[in-house]
Amino acid sequence: MIKQFRGTHKQIALLDSAYSHRVFDAMLKSGHAIASPNGEHIAILKAKDKWGWNLEVDGKTEASPVWYSMGFRRFSPRLLGILPDGILLAGALADGREGVFFSKRDGTLIHYSSCEEIVGIQQSASGPLVFARSLSDSENERRFILPSLGTDVRIHRQAFVTGISSGRALVLDTIEGRLHRYLVGPDGFSDVAIVPVTQGDPPIGIVCAYGVYLLAIPSNSFSTLFALGKHSWDLKERSFKIEGTIEYLWQSPTHKTYAFLTRIEKEKETIRALCLGTDVLHAGSFTMGSNDLVWSPNGSYIGAKIRTKSKEDVQEVTSLVNRREEFRCRNAELEIDEFCVDNNGSLWSWIMRSGPYHCAFVGEREHDKVEYAWNMRLLADGSVGYNCLYGAKVMNIIDQTDVRS
């Protein structure tokens, strides 16, 4: 199947022939299919009848309840994450319970939250961070769920939440008219403190780095990174001025550093700068989204997928960038779907889409074209893994060529 590399390919499920790569792509985007972070397992919500779905894991139907749509909102059941001890999913049961559930591998079903709408999902250092709303919530309210909490936490709609280590969440929220930051975890709420900023300075986010909390406050000309709490040895002052308007702020998964994107308006031209800590990694006329940044496994380096338009051609061209190198799709019809950055900061692997096929690149090696590829990851031993469809087979591919024996 895949040639010219040392590694393994393992079948983890066999799909029905009706699941073409286009259908499977739609299932992944709708949350009806999901792979585990290590690529070893896949869960699928499989239609039982017009209204009901069965949960299928690794090609085998689970002895679990049938999942239905949620009332008039027709909230279709949705897979939220595969964890080592079970599956996080949203849906409704015949007994009337609905919301977010945790289906443990031993068959136990835990009800985490009653809700009718999933607002969004973020991957964090604590696992899937799920945002939800209920019909009973006020217009200015939502809730979030972390698997480690075992329940939901209600916050204001404009609050910021970042999942950090040890199953905790760092929250920035307005309480009784004043901005607060606090931690919430399995042991409850802790480290509650008022944030000393004025009401006229709405923040864009908060991260934990260098042992302190850094709050980003955007502005048209100069934004501010504001250090909260205990100072670290390498923080010389309480706040840092950043040229331009901060658009995104990212948390290092190991809390070693942070990254942000700033927009600078100069003489009818918009310039953006992607920064790792206080260093500029890439600057120019480009765009990127909040999901277009990837951290190295050690949390020290980043790479980004950016989009540029040349003056001669109005079509967007996709590139991968970091501090030392850039990989540019020469053909505007090509698109990079996923990529990895290694612990030396190199752009090491990526999945490229060309027409109906996907192709994985690892180092200097081009793997065979497949109908669909996704879930690319860099493993602790330096090998690269991804999942793919090969006919009706769902495969887990591991490239170990560059791993030292």
Which of helix, strand or coil describes residue 71? helix
The pLDDT assigned to 299 comes to 92
Helices (H) and strands (E) in the chain, counts: 1, 37
Give yes or no for residue 375 having a pLDDT over 90.
yes
The residue range of the domain holding 100 is 33-156
What is the spatial distance between Cα 303 and Cα 287, in angstroms, rounded to a whole number? 14
> Measuring CA to CA, which residue among 130, 150, 127 is closest to residue 142?
130
Q: How far is residue 92 from each of residues 24, 96, 97, 121, 164, measured CA to CA in Å?
A: 23, 7, 6, 19, 29
Work out the pLDDT band at 74, boundaries 50, 70, 90: low
Phi and psi at residue 70, to the nearest 5°: -95, 95
Cβ pair 140, 152 in contact under 8 A: no
The pLDDT assigned to 333 comes to 65
Is residue 91 a part of any domain in this protein?
A: yes
Give yes or no for residue 308 having a pLDDT over 90.
no
Which of helix, strand or coil describes residue 386? strand
What is the spatial distance between Cα 10 and Cα 393, in angstroms, rounded to a whole number? 10
397 membership: H or E segment, kind and range? strand 393-399
Count of domains observed in the chain: 1
- If you average pLDDT over residues 245-256, what whole number do you get? 92
Contacting residues for 198 by C-beta, under 8 A, at least 6 apart? none
Q: State what percent of residues in the chain have pLDDT above 90.
A: 53
Which of helix, strand or coil describes residue 363? coil
The pLDDT assigned to 233 comes to 43
Least confident interval from 59-73, 276-290, 343-357: 59-73
At 310-341, the pLDDT tens digits run 666 667 788 899 877 788 776 666 788 999 99
Is residue 278 a part of any domain in this protein?
A: no
Is residue 252 a part of any domain in this protein?
A: no
Give yes or no for residue 231 having a pLDDT over 50.
no
At 141-169, the pLDDT tens digits run 999 999 999 899 999 998 999 998 778 99
At 4-63, the pLDDT tens digits run 678 898 999 988 866 778 888 899 999 999 999 999 999 999 888 888 999 999 989 887
How crowded is residue 107: how many other Cβ atoms within 10 Å of its Cβ?
10
How crowded is the C-beta side of 13, counted as CA atoms within 13 Å? 24
What is the spatial distance between Cα 317 and Cα 82, in angstroms, rounded to a whole number? 33
The pLDDT assigned to 405 comes to 52
How crowded is residue 125: how many other Cβ atoms within 10 Å of its Cβ?
20
Is residue 88 a part of any domain in this protein?
A: yes
Is residue 275 a part of any domain in this protein?
A: no
The pLDDT assigned to 314 comes to 65
Cβ pair 157, 142 in contact under 8 A: yes
At 87-120, the pLDDT tens digits run 999 999 988 899 999 999 888 999 999 998 899 9
The pLDDT assigned to 331 comes to 65
Is residue 347 a part of any domain in this protein?
A: no
Model-level pTM? 0.88
Residue type, 3: K
At 287-300, the pLDDT tens digits run 999 999 999 999 99
Mean pLDDT of the chain: 87
- If you average pLDDT over residues 215-238, what whole number do you get? 73
Q: How far is residue 392 from each of residues 11, 18, 28, 144, 264, measured CA to CA in Å?
A: 10, 9, 15, 36, 48
At 169-212, the pLDDT tens digits run 999 998 888 888 899 999 899 888 888 776 667 888 888 887 78
